Amino acid sequence: MPGANRRAGAGARARRPRGARDREEDSGGLEPGVAACDLLRGTSNMSFEELLELQSQVGTKTYKQLVAGNSPKKQSSRPPIQNACVADKHRPLEMSAKIRVPFLRQVVPISKKVARDPRFDDLSGEYNPEVFDKTYQFLNDIRAKEKELVKKQLKKHRSGKEHEKLQQLLQRMEQQEMAQQERKQQQELHLALKQERRAQAQQGHRPYFLKKSEQCQLALAEKFKELKRSKKLENFLSRKRRRNAGKDRRHLPLSKE
């Protein structure tokens, strides 16, 4: 049946796409891999019907692979994101406009200011009470003038809130003055002990350093002498007795009624 075979071959060639027939004729019966490459190059010039016919011939999976390999990759419209880097370290950092800028952002690095307290700083030197009192001795005259002014104001305001405020201020001034006098007496006592130890060392004797408890006893003895001299010893002792009695009363058991 040679005639039937020729008619069947002609019908198959007629059903094939025009581009495929041309490539088949040009290839002259090449290998399947070469024909696939030719088909891949010519799919851009085929009509929609020819593409459907080609898909039915080669299969859906192979057709998708051919079309995916022939179509160019879509270029992204967005520009590539660059790393946030700056050329100069003091230059502000470039931020994206699509990202919300934080409320607190450090644009330029600022050196942190460190507060310095001269009372506890080594740069201010060591604290010497004698030198301090001599340097700020003029403050005693200012305090005395302020105390006299407060007393005059207290005489004008006999009652009310202003009288209470002035009374508390005067009491605080007197307490500060008493504390300053006690501190001055302690300094004088330490200075006298220091001079005594220095005299013993000059005579060739070994200096004796008093304990802290012995220094407190000497300070208390000087305080009693000062109170006796100013005739305030009885008031001091009566207050001391009442304070000690209150302390002892706390430790006593409660009486049962």
More confident residue, 157 or 42: 157
pLDDT of residue 253: 77
Supply angle C-alpha 42, 48, 49, rounded to 5: 100
Over residues 244-248, the mean pLDDT reads 85
- State which amino acid sits at residue 178: M
pLDDT of residue 257: 52
Q: Mean of the per-residue pLDDT values for the chain?
A: 75
pLDDT per residue over 172-214, tens digit each?
A: 999 999 888 888 888 888 888 888 888 888 888 888 888 888 8
143 pLDDT tier (thresholds 50, 70, 90): very high
Torsion of CA 150, 152, 158, 161, to 10 degrees: -30
The neighbour count for residue 206, using CB atoms within 10 Å, is 7
* Rounded Cα–Cα distance for residues 6 and 9 (Å): 5
* Rounded Cα–Cα distance for residues 77 and 187 (Å): 85
* Rounded Cα–Cα distance for residues 18 and 46 (Å): 8
3-class secondary-structure state, position 84: coil
DSSP secondary structure, 176-189, as one string: HHHHHHHHHHHHHH
* Rounded Cα–Cα distance for residues 195 and 207 (Å): 11
Percent of the chain, pLDDT > 90?
A: 9
Over residues 236-257, the mean pLDDT reads 80
pLDDT per residue over 147-181, tens digit each?
A: 999 999 988 887 888 888 999 999 999 999 988 88
- State which amino acid sits at residue 18: R
pLDDT of residue 33: 47
pLDDT of residue 30: 38
